[in-house]
């Protein structure tokens, strides 16, 4: 039964969670100032043949950055294709968000596809991306992640959240050694939140080293009917 709110005091309403969006209160945006998370440090995996793995990871990145935490996204295997534009919506949004940065180490096309790209180039870029991930994790280990970080500082100065987008695809295609990915996860500092996405294949080699594993499964996708990537939804 819903509580009778007519005789409630402000303290009573707060105790019932009245001051929430569901309680009829519209949250007001607040300035984003540097802050430090209190409970970061988990490893999250998003894999599967469904759409939304990168989207979910970036959504968490924006949420963390909105609290003033320092976030960086390093992308593997997303250099581009003729179905998308060079500048994507997510890049513009990240550039406008304090404390959120990104870099892309992908090569044009997709490994193993007859799209004019060379697999040797994909392999070289994946290796370079993995070395970059190692650098960022080592740098995070040298920083005090229990303290606020400069939102405008380069990612080498420390991160609260690191998103390694499509790393699981690179490992699945043996462009990166899966065991090296396990070692990378094991070397991360305790307070760094690590989010890894990609692959239609179950990353069973990494599951025991993760705290959260989400399988994004496809039931229906317009690409199967010939729909190409759309501006504003896929890029």
Domain containing residue 179: CATH number: 3.40.50.300
Residues 54 and 132 in one domain: yes
Q: Whole domain around residue 19: which residue ranges?
A: 1-30
Q: Is residue 235 part of a domain?
A: no
**40-52 mean pLDDT:** 96
Same domain? 43 vs 114 = yes
Whether the CB-CB separation of 65 and 98 falls below 8 Å is answered with yes
Residue 117, pLDDT above cutoff 50 = no
How many domains does the chain contain in total? Answer: 2
Confidence band, pLDDT 50/70/90 cuts, at residue 7: low
The Cα 217–Cα 47 span in angstroms is 8
CA 168 to the chain's CA centroid? 13
Contact 168, 203 (CB under 8 A): yes
d(C-alpha 165, C-alpha 198), whole Å: 7
- My answer on whether 24 and 112 are in the same domain is no
Range with the poorest average pLDDT among 62-71, 120-129, 135-144, 162-171: 120-129
Residues 65 and 131 in one domain: yes
Quote the CA–CA distance of 110 and 77 in Å, as a whole number: 7
Instruction: Look at residue 230 and tell me if it is in a domain.
Output: no
Is the same domain home to 38 and 18? no
Which pLDDT value is given to residue 72? 98
In the predicted model, what is the mean pLDDT of the chain? 86
Q: Are residues 147 and 184 in the same domain?
A: yes
Tell me whether residue 10 is in a domain: yes
Residue 233 covered by a domain: no
Task: Work out the burial of residue 28: count CB atoms within 10 Å of its CB; fewer than 13 is exposed, 13-18 middle, 19 or more buried.
Answer: exposed
Co-location of 134 and 193 in the same domain? yes
Question: In this structure, are 169 and 219 located in the same domain?
Answer: yes
Same domain, 26 and 37: no
Mark whether 60 and 141 lie in a shared domain: yes
Q: Do 180 and 123 share a structural domain?
A: yes
- Helix (H) or strand (E) run with residue 214 in it: strand 212-215
Residue 25: pLDDT band (50, 70, 90) is confident
Per the domain annotation, does 132 fall within a domain? yes
Tell me the C-alpha distance between 136 and 141, whole Å: 9
């Amino acid at each position: 039964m819903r509580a009778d709110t007519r005789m409630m005091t402000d303290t009573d309403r707060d105790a019932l969670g009245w001051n929430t969006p569901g309680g009829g209160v519209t949250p007001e945006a607040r300035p984003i100032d540097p802050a430090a998370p209190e409970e970061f440090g988990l490893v999250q995996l998003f894999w599967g043949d469904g759409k939304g793995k990168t989207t979910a990871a970036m959504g968490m990145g924006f949420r963390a950055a909105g609290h003033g935490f320092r976030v960086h996204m390093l992308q593997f295997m997303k250099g581009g294709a003729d179905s998308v534009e060079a500048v994507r919506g997510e890049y513009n949004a990240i550039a406008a968000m304090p404390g959120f940065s990104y870099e892309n180490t992908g090569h044009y096309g997709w490994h193993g596809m007859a799209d004019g790209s060379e697999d040797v180039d994909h392999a070289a870029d994946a290796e370079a991306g993995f070395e970059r991930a190692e650098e960022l994790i080592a740098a995070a280990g040298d920083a005090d992640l229990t303290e606020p970080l400069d939102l405008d500082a380069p990612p080498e100065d420390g991160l609260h959240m690191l998103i390694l987008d499509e790393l699981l695809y690179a490992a699945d295609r043996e462009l990166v050694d899966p065991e090296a990915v396990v070692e990378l996860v094991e070397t991360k500092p305790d307070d760094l939140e690590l989010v890894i996405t990609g692959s239609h294949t179950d990353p069973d080699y990494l599951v025991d080293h993760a705290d959260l594993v989400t399988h994004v499964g496809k039931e229906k996708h317009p690409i199967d009917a010939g729909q190409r990537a759309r501006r504003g939804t896929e890029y």
